[in-house]
Structure 1
């Protein structure tokens, strides 16, 4: 069997569990070969199928996300390592980076709350060569992933990663003076049914936030004013139906909110000016 034939067969197999079956098959085949997807399609379609490919397809058929199988995910044109310790960065979150860069293009200090893979901080720092960043997360394994990504991108010298838990008193000590604050906190209502690839594989602690999905905004927003430098801005990702509620929490905390939409036109980010 050639690679072209194996891809057709895998796409048929995966179509029962994935809306992107052909793409998944190609990414997994490229990973098995150790080449890029473009290189696969241009140069390897008539080659022999690697022995590991069938196992990769089985894992995807069982709803394991492709990013966890390959250990990689692109975000804001940056290649990132990911693991089940962190949420997989989504393209929808790129609007947060765009909003932050537009709001404070001269920012020199960036704070990322709940960094996970480091995607938000590292994407922002990659476009702000004058800036330094601090990222916090309560999960040591997530911090290791983020620090590894910083090293791979040559950003270790401009970033620091600290284990902090914003549900505990004193977590914000020493973090003040940020020109930009970034956060993609948990915002899914507890008990909400999720796709099997998310529910069975991604970290629930980074997803669920109480009965209305707002628990972590209630914890974070009252402290933003003291964490921001004068003229500073915070950008927080939200669920598609949370703009009004999060904006109200921002105003109650003395912040001025502005809502940004993602490419699908859904409310995605609340920018908050001190």
Structure 2
């Protein structure tokens, strides 16, 4: 599935463009690439730099300012000083916009980050030009047996096994397990870490505790409490971008969201699964750019 070469030169992340304080003990590292219409990228679990290749590709297209940041508890900073739920992390995005002097922006979130983007669409519509959801799971609302079993396989088998490896000190093994299960890519560790900026694998291992202790519970709480009636009130323009080969719990989640919000559009990235933003960054950037350009023409 990957066309990553063994000789690829990995990106080395520069010093952050800015650091934004969001609590007495939490500071977020923020990078800004390019100039133009701002697009904030919100990463998912563990891999802070997962969306950097996509942000790079969008910035190369011109006319876009790609903003990438590390969520609380990521980038080797240890557990958040002040644990926060998804609404709290949505507020962190607003804090970044304020710090950069940006009135409103497109916000694109992948996986866990997509919950944050959707939360922002409901809580801070005046700060969003649109929300781009790069696959989330509406676990409590899934109806088909295939989707339910697929999700249970992760929550009831994989997550506990990861926690056990972490507790035993095998953080690297836990990260490798995460890659294998969530990417559905053969030889996932080599493929994924070759596509990520240099050192991202070590960062993922360092940030595993945040995934297990903060993000997992926050995600479960958000999905359990998500009310269709509340989501139906969202007026922010929304698009869903997904992998054509992603597991059924993602495609069913997309269908549920479109039932709740019929104006939600969707795009599939061909020959890709859940890791499409990392492994198909040029194609994903094209879809992001086309959506943002269409929104600009309507303003």
- Normalising by the residue count of structure 2, what TM-score does the alignment of the two structures yield? 0.34
Question: With CA pairs under 8 Å and 6+ residues apart, which has the higher RCO, 1 or 2?
Answer: 2
Greater helix content: 2
The structure that has the greater radius of gyration is: 1
- Normalising by the residue count of structure 1, what TM-score does the alignment of the two structures yield? 0.36
